[in-house]
Structure 1
Amino acid sequence: MIIGVGALGSSSSEMLVRAGVGKITLMDRDYVEESNLQRQQLFSEEDVKNQTPKVIAAKNRLQAINSHTIIEAKVIDVGVEELDSIAEEVDVIIDATDNFDTRLIINDICQKYRKPWVYGACVASYGVTFTVLPDETPCLQCLMDHIPNDGATCDTVGIISPAVQMVVAHQVTEVIKLLTDNQDALSGKLIAFDLWKNQQMELKVATLKDENCPSCSQAKYPNLEYQAQVKTAVLCGRNTVQIRAGTQKNFHFIQFKEHLKDLNLTNFFSNPYLVSFEIDPFRIVVFKDGRTLIHGTKNPQEAKKLYYRFVG
């Protein structure tokens, strides 16, 4: 199963279909936009014109490459219920998402059903990947304090396509090892790189497995609980959607504010309590505790898309 069919998801799905994988399930909530074409290789200008959902456009292209692969395309906003209903059936999950909220849900679902998954992320020229094996390796919850995160996203600082392909190369290779029963060949390391700066790091993380981790050691799966999930609410009469992060998420307001200052955003404003800016036709206000107002829409899905683009 591939969760997210953007840059990482479109590239990894094509590699696996060409490799002859028998069945792939694609999950993504979004449709194809012009800005996607720079790095999301399965899509075309025709898909942009038709606002084709990414999973549908991807399936059409992938079936033309290999008609023998069974491809399930699910146009959904991936959450706990969606993953809980299918995770037990799959062999391995590829993380190709754009936010840590979904990744932490993937992490706990995979711990719950004892499924391996391959974490991957990239922005600008930087990328990182790690294969999580339940009961054997640290999980993402264990590693959260060791993974750099400055709030940058592909939409705020861009990304170069070679960084995508480097992450995909690592992710897909690990998946092929798992599908062919070659676990002894797995990397076992957190791999990070910056192509622009000619830097690469491979970190042995076995000792970072936390005996008190609620996800992989205590089997409490905190990220599957309601209070840990992102919540949206349409504010009556205001053409605004409010978004609250889960109670367990830490929001680094000062760091976030400093990052936004460098982006030359329209009508940027900040004070000790909030930061606001405009992305025509929307106005986004982020409070010190991470609570966010998306003015200019009543659509929770549209609001969440903007939230993950700019709040990260």
Structure 2
Amino acid sequence: MTDITRYHRQTLFHPIGEVGQEKLANKHVLLIGCGALGSSAAEMLARAGIGELTLIDRDYVELTNLQRQHLFTEEDVKNKIPKVIAAVNKLQVINSEITINSVVMDATADNLADYIKKADLIIDATDNFDTRFVINDLAHKYRVPWIFGACVGSSGMTFTIIPGQTPCLNCLLKVTPVFGATCDAIGVIGPAVQMVVTHQVTEAIKILIDDTKHIRSQLIIFDLWNNHYQSIDVSRSKQANCTSCGGELPTFPSLSYQNQTKSEVLCGRDTVQIRGKQYSLGDLASMLSKYGEVQTNAFLVSVVIDSMRLVFFHDGRTFVHGTSSIEEAKKLYYQVIG
């Protein structure tokens, strides 16, 4: 039985109450991405008393994150701590009663399924549509609700997706325009992040306590700076022949190998990610030492070569900082690795 004393103000809110609080204590939320949206959503959910949180993220903390990404500090930047590790360290101090799992990895079609099957709900806190399409297909394959969210500049959007009931992401994008700009081009402000997170976490709590009649069915789009807010009925956008959610045998196209991204430019980072062979971090540190000073911790090894910095993760991923050219990044990567 959960000690609900700490949640007294939340249980006083009639739609939740003590019954709803007990339901929250027995639910598992999967957060994919632990940057601006993910770190804030994780903190809200931890404080609300969600029984189990699993955080997945591929990145480590950098100085530019601190402007909008909650839970991280300058010390995390200095030590190049993976975001999920830094987040869990803070969340465990906030609420020691809940279970919090940290997973340092790139979310792909190959490795996400096992995590999604165990979750009651997925919150999208990613920064790219390749991963969102994978989430969309896996969520429909395993019938797990998920909440889409995105923001750039002073604008944001969010939509709650219930397999078998609402349009899926593929359906939605065929009839609804999405942001053409990225945070790399026009930046992003913290309040826009918090607005998206507020909508996502509120919807999450409704779903987790089974308050189905109050789940929002509209797509929310806003621009805080220009004072715009829209709530759009997109129910008619559900496609009977959608390859992700339509018909009796959807094909889930984003889960096929040929549709998976092997190398990509990371949003707002002047950085290319390459997925390659796994190496021992100790072996990498020795191999890289001939290029200059090597920094290492339990999760990654990094070195600066000329004007670029290479960061190798334990799961075989490498970040090449200082370029947005996949070709240039691969050239340096293979020069170093062979």
Return the TM-score normalized by structure 2: 0.71
Do residues 93 (structure 1) and 115 (structure 2) align?
Answer: no
Contact 2:53 2:101 in 1 (8 A): yes
SS of structure 2 residue aligned to 1:43: coil
> Any idea what the Cα deviations from partners look like across 1:188-238, whole Å, max 9, x if unmatched?
0100000011001111111000011000003211111111111239xxxxx
Deviation at residue 134 of structure 1 after TM alignment:
0.4
Deviation at residue 81 of structure 1 after TM alignment:
1.8
Unpaired runs of at least 5, structure 2: 1-29, 265-270, 275-319
| 1:1-312 → structure 2 map (5 Å cutoff) | 1-218=30-247, 219-232=250-263, 282-285=322-325, 292-295=326-329, 297-298=332-333
Q: Aligned pair in 2 of structure 1 residues 294, 171: CA closer, same or farther (>3 Å)? A: farther
Deviation at residue 294 of structure 1 after TM alignment:
4.1
Q: Give the residue type in structure 2 aligned to 1:225.
A: S
RMSD over aligned Cα atoms: 2.2
SS of structure 1 residue aligned to 2:159: strand
CA distance in 2, matches of 1:23, 1:42: 18
Q: Aligned pair in 2 of structure 1 residues 220, 32: CA closer, same or farther (>3 Å)? A: same
Identity %: 54
> Any idea what the Cα deviations from partners look like across 1:133-185, whole Å, max 9, x if unmatched?
00000000101133434542223211110000000000000000011011111
Return the TM-score normalized by structure 1: 0.77
CA distance in 1, matches of 2:82, 2:272: 23
Q: Which has the larger radius of gyration?
A: 2
Q: Aligned pair in 2 of structure 1 residues 182, 155: CA closer, same or farther (>3 Å)? A: same
SS of structure 2 residue aligned to 1:85: helix
Contact 2:143 2:163 in 1 (8 A): yes
CA distance in 2, matches of 1:33, 1:146: 36
Q: Give the residue type in structure 2 aligned to 1:148.
A: P
Q: How many residues of Structure 1 are paired with residues of Structure 2 in the alignment?
A: 252
Unpaired runs of at least 5, structure 1: 234-239, 244-279, 286-291, 300-312
